[in-house]
Structure 1
Amino acid sequence: ALGLLASGRNALGGWLLLTFAGTLSAAGASAINQYLERDLDTKMKRTKNRPMAVGELAHPEYILWTGLALIALAVGVSAIWNFALAVWILLGAFIYTGIYTIWLKPRTSLNIVIGGAAGSCAVLSGGAALGAWNDPLVWLLATLLFVWTPVHFWALAMAYRNDYANAGFPMLPALVSMPAAARWTALHTYLTVASALVIGLWPQIDLIYLLPIGLVSAYFLLKTQRLLRQPTGKTAMALFHASNIYLAAVLVVVLLMPLWR
């Protein structure tokens, strides 16, 4: 959506290419992630029923090669028409599988903070599809995704902190007290809301954007405040769902902005 706003032109071909390549790359990265974590998934209630965790696949190694092939196909097809799109898709897949899944997730509590850059690459891929990846507005939304990611995953990890501890993943909520995890999560909520509100001050965005985003921001902050007051799995899961609603609301409102102007 921000790529469309920044480019100021109809780019159906870019959208179609992004949808095709993005879907392939996301599927490939997810397949690789589940292959690499198939043994650890058996130790977590949330993931123990995944196909590779329960041994439904006779040759799970095929999933690894399939995932790599999907990413390669996405990058190859993109490179033919849009080299910048190919670069951002490849970088996003590499950050998610190579940096986050293999290196950061099993080693540091900062895993999701740095791994959130994979989500930013998805936004930059959208901008690249329309020839606007270097537009400041696109980078602003990429920043929003980066600071939103810890809220989303830490809230989930607070609700499933025993799962992560059993699997040996050093997710922050599994290493610190629930009140401390709530404070770190709240910090990123504030950064997310600030980033979303700054988008409304951009010239390409009408100020009407601030009305719905202000309302959903209040809802997001309310759920965060409840987590701070009562840091439990229940309030953490409520914030997790609120984070999904918040990001969806921002993206939908931004998407509708060209219709308003």
Structure 2
Amino acid sequence: MVGPHVASVCVYPVKSLRGVDVPAADVLAWGVQGDRRWMVVLPDGEVLTARELPRMLGVRATPVDGGIRLAAAGLPDLEVAEPAGGVADVPVGLSRLDRATSGGPRADAWLSEALGRPVRLVWLDDPRRRTVSESHGGLPGDTMALADAGPLLVTTVASMAALNGWIADAARESADPDGPSRPPLPMERFRPNLVVGGDLEPFEEDTWAGLRVGDVELRFSERCDRCSLTTIDLDALVTTKEPVRTLARHRRADGRTWFGVRVVPVTTGRVHVGDPVTSLR
């Protein structure tokens, strides 16, 4: 038996692009440092996500000192510096945020080529400008970067194993001859910031009031409802039926499917892979 611990820490510098696993990260009041401070918008400022354009998940963003590195097949990597001191003058169509700062014409041109359509890269200068909605468990003073609804997402290895077991069972029962041979879905489909491993029951996280990782305390804000972004095959960059089809059979409530929990930092500090995790009830 292995006690609950941090199995992985994940950072997604650009909303809807691929991210990276890191050995440790600072948790700030608005989430993991460097997580979702950037996003891709259309020329009119509307936010573009992989739900509309799956090929976005073929571009990886890695945090580097003072900025990010963008990588995509067929293109040279591009480093983009944080436009510190720049004016937040780009209108954007994101909830609870009306403007952001341009990442510059080089970044716009590179991403436009990578994605096959005209886009812009923008940066959130100050996450304190964006609050967590009360409808998503936010309290006065809660802030976040550019994630959809909460500062951090937490999932567990036990829940992922249960989900993959359900998918495998359904494949064996189906008439699809290739179903049983398909590999398990990766946790990356769900884009968590913290993955908790160890001796846990599947979906135990739904019952937590929060969790403590070292000196960092995180408050439960809500379960996470899952959208079509989780159905994108990260290799083929096409939309599939899983995992939403199976979640709809086993984890459907209130007309939605659920996997993982959103949490809000109560205290700040550094978290590491391997850190013990204590659930709060």
Bin of the TM-score, shorter chain as denominator length: under 0.3
Higher share of residues assigned strand = 2
TM-score (norm 2): 0.23
TM-score (norm 1): 0.24
Higher share of residues assigned helix = 1
